[in-house]
Structure 1
Amino acid sequence: METNVSTVRSSAAAAEPFSTVPIFGVEFSKMGMNETVRYLTDVIERRQPTQVITANPIMVMSALENPAYMNMMQQADLIVPDGAGVVWAAGYVGEPVAERVPGFDLMHRLLREGESRGWSAYLLGTTQEVIEEAARNLQAKFPGIRIAGVRDGFFGASEDEEVVAAIRAAAPDMLFVARSADKQEPWLARYKHELGVPLLMGVGGSFDIIAGKLKRAPVVFQKLRLEWFYRLLQQPSRYKRMLVLPKFAVKVMREKENVTKRTPKP
């Protein structure tokens, strides 16, 4: 079923379908935070492996440049509008999403939901020191959650089998991964079914914030949709990646009629 350029997407993992809007071939959920949490709660309870991508304009542009990355994005079960630029783009073309759904907040909401349901979580990524500190802080904040395991994200393809086996043995309800953007989503997509985890989600720099290594943008920056700028102030080395943001905005304005054009899925 299609309504304008929106579509209603369903998954074997959940009873309720959800509406999406494509941004240059990447299907973004139109659900707000509360609806997303309800949807994923059902997913986890059903124990159907589901990959969630919290996407931003940089990832959309990467998908346009890399067919393999686009294919991976199109195979994801749920893509939420993490980046403010995505929210703006959807509104600009007349197909607004309910709101921005930041991955950092979504992870915390799911952990809070899991406290009363006896869920467990596995944390993978960043350095061993940071991931262990993040685990301690999350355990203190969400005592009802069981941390099923932790591991740093510095491993190569030769160690994938070992890492997958360890996660599978831990049998968590949720797997949160913090590796570089070009690694975490493709890695989760590749091993989604082997891992056997109901919820698989990349969380970028969230563990650095949780561990106290970085500070999250103040609320005023979040409300002004300038969280990306605050992070740039803390990590100036990210400036090259940030140059993609104005390119994305210009592309949306120049190609407004084609922004929501659907591309065939493989």
Structure 2
Amino acid sequence: MPDLLQAPRRSTVLGLPIHLLSDYPGWLLSQAKHSSGAHVVTLNAEMAMQAEKTPNLAAVIRSAELVIPDGAGVVLYLRLRGQKVQRCPGIELAEALLRQMPLLGTEGTVFFYGGAPGVAQSAADRLQYRIPGLKIAGVQHGYLSEEERSQLDETLRRLQPRLILVGLGVPRQELWIAEHRYLCPDSIWIGVGGSFDIWSGKKTRAPGWLANNHLEWVYRLYQEPWRWRRMLALPKFALRALTDAR
């Protein structure tokens, strides 16, 4: 299992790192077994374009221990440069890692933070039902007062969960993780965007035929039409992918 023993191979997308592995969940589980903390960034075209305008976000992505090719646009960018890359959706990575956390025994605890009130709790409950032995250390929604945010910091410091899933949206979740990692330096931190909504049943993922044709963004726009302005980054990224490859 060489991927679990060596650092991931590194490439770049618009100057941002991307780490290439055959087994992302396995590598992260190995990190967790050795109490080696990691920040996982799920890079897609929208985030890459946003990072060009947000230096703080770009700095966080560059400092992350693992940046995965979450979006079809990122995969296209790399394939145009002759690299054989398979897409790794962040929600699938997180769920695969959740299924492996019971292998850590009593230390394999998970914390859910983010989403609207009740959503993260529902997601945790459903996942705990589906994954035998999954240990939920705690759950906290993302609409907190200043006092509640301080309480959350103390809770994380006390519990030291091995896996912390943060669903605050991009770039807020990436910036929040970078700012709070010191609370649990040995933990695996993953920004999971809207995954809590999917796991809770509040929303659904795109049908397979859309995903297989790299059109998940169409389904997401259908579910969240307010995102249309942010989606304008996609054709801009595609143009960059094509022109920069020449």
2:130 maps to 141
CA displacement at 1:254 relative to structure 2 = 1.8
Alignment partners' CA distance in 1, 2:52 and 2:239: 15
Alignment partners' CA distance in 2, 1:69 and 1:157: 23
CA displacement at 1:70 relative to structure 2 = 1.0
Task: Show CA shifts across 1:48-67 (max 9, x none).
Answer: 22100011011111111122
1:6 maps to none
TM alignment of 1:94-113, pairs within 5 A = 94-97=82-85, 99-113=86-100
CA RMSD, 1 decimal: 1.7
Stretch of structure 1 that moved more, 187-196 or 243-252: 187-196
Question: Which blocks of at least 5 consecutive residues in structure 1 are unaligned?
Answer: 1-9, 258-266
Change (3 A) 1:26 1:159: farther
Residue 231 (structure 1) aligned with residue 215 (structure 2)? no
1:176 maps to 165
Alignment partners' CA distance in 2, 1:157 and 1:21: 39
CA displacement at 1:156 relative to structure 2 = 5.9
Alignment partners' CA distance in 2, 1:168 and 1:218: 39
TM alignment of 1:1-266, pairs within 5 A = 15-32=5-22, 35-97=23-85, 99-118=86-105, 119-155=108-144, 159-256=148-245
CA displacement at 1:160 relative to structure 2 = 3.9
TM-score normalised by length of structure 2 = 0.93
Question: Which blocks of at least 5 consecutive residues in structure 2 are unaligned?
Answer: none
Alignment partners' CA distance in 1, 2:145 and 2:63: 23
CA displacement at 1:37 relative to structure 2 = 1.3
Change (3 A) 1:195 1:161: farther
Task: Show CA shifts across 1:148-169 (max 9, x none).
Answer: 0000112366654322211121
Stretch of structure 1 that moved more, 182-191 or 162-171: 162-171
Alignment partners' CA distance in 2, 1:29 and 1:245: 21
CA displacement at 1:144 relative to structure 2 = 0.6
CA displacement at 1:195 relative to structure 2 = 2.5
Task: Show CA shifts across 1:121-164 (max 9, x none).
Answer: 10000012111111110110113111000001123666543222
TM-score normalised by length of structure 1 = 0.86
Alignment partners' CA distance in 2, 1:199 and 1:152: 19
2:104 aligns to what SS in structure 1? coil
Question: Sequence identity of aligned pairs in percent?
Answer: 33
